Amino acid sequence: MANPDEARLHYPLADRLPGRGETNEVAPGIRWLRMPLPFALDHINLWLLNDVDESGREGFAIVDCGIDDAATRSAWEAAFSSTLGGAPVLRVIVTHMHPDHIGLAHWLTERHSSPQRDCRLWISATDWNAARSAVVATGGVGGEGAARFFGRHGLTDPVALQRVRERRDHYRSLVPRVPDRFRRLMDGTELTLAGHTWHCIAGYGHAPEHMALFCPELKLLISGDMVLPRISTNVSVFDAEPEGNPLALYLASLERFCALPADTLVLPSHGKPFVGLHERIAQLQLHHERRLDEVRAACHQEPRSAADLLGVLFRRQLDLHQTTFAMGESIAHLHALASRGELAPRLGDDGVMRFGCAA
């Protein structure tokens, strides 16, 4: 395996991946779809669950959507004609506001609404508002504000900065619209899906207010991006919240999942369904502590900017899409150490923020 940590996880479905527009059953009434993404991370897992609305009408609930592009719409059309078999989509549940999760929410809810019944988006209020803002704003991973922010943290390559500026419409290109109305999910909200009760678990650091779904009776966790089997979840600081400390929030959120049973079947947004939740949480915690150790050691040698640390944290060639998230992660690790009082930021005469030993 490319990642030796995977050997300590169990994949009960092995390598049986859903084909385009097809689904695999992971439990009674719960189906797994796999949609393409045009990035290095080339897929997202989506979930179809049997559902019943207030009037007793049977249909499906969708968990997460994919980005809005022709390939994803085409894959959904194939799923509609095969798996759904004409049954209605009753609601669209979105774990968080990132484009691969909410991109087609507007299309799916409108397609399955009628004058008599609405197909509603269900999402945390924080992420609904964040998505609505991102559609009209230029920030985060692109635009002039992002370029200035990354420049302040040491990204000085003029070509890279220009390409960041040109990504001002990146979010809107993948999420052209967000539904005008929604149903609010909160920590502890209970939903009835596939004939069972599911509990919402709020998580922070990766997204403003991420919602995972856990079914105690089935021991199933739809983890979204909070717990992934093969890669570490992106935890970044971006220009909209330049003093943020998302890594501390993320690590605290991970602790909450330790209370779930060790034999929980985890349905992640990327990678394959797996058993080994506690093991994977321990792996993620160790991963970040090791990265923090490396950042601390480098900054104790001499003050470093976030850009200076890219080679320390990421030992591979990065494309632009990866570089923007890598910069955000580098800043997040620096902010975590600064919040612990282990490092201190200092703004240089060149306008670059560097972190060194705290006085």
Ordered structural domains, the chain, with CATH: 4-277 (3.60.15.10)
* Nearest-angstrom CA–CA distance, 264 and 205: 23
Q: What is the pLDDT of residue 89?
A: 95
Pair 288, 245: CB distance under 8 Å: no
254-263 LR contacts (CB < 8 Å, sep 24+): 254/203, 254/226, 254/227, 254/281, 254/284, 254/285, 256/201, 256/203, 257/201, 257/212, 257/221, 257/223, 257/226, 257/227, 257/281, 260/214, 260/221, 261/219, 263/219
Looking at the whole model, is its pTM more than 0.85? yes
pLDDT tens over the chain, length 359 residues: 457 787 899 999 988 999 888 899 999 999 999 999 998 889 999 999 999 998 999 999 999 999 999 999 999 999 998 888 888 999 999 999 999 999 999 999 999 999 999 999 999 999 999 999 999 875 556 889 999 999 999 999 898 899 899 888 889 999 999 999 999 999 999 999 999 999 999 999 999 999 999 999 999 999 999 999 999 999 999 999 999 999 999 999 999 999 999 999 999 999 999 999 999 999 999 999 999 999 999 999 999 999 999 999 998 788 877 888 899 999 999 999 999 999 999 999 999 999 999 87
In one-letter notation, the amino acid at residue 102 is I
Residue from 133, 137, 128, 131 nearest 181 by CA: 128
Q: What is the pLDDT of residue 266?
A: 98
Residue from 221, 309, 315 nearest 268 by CA: 221
Q: What is the pLDDT of residue 274?
A: 98
Pair 216, 199: CB distance under 8 Å: yes
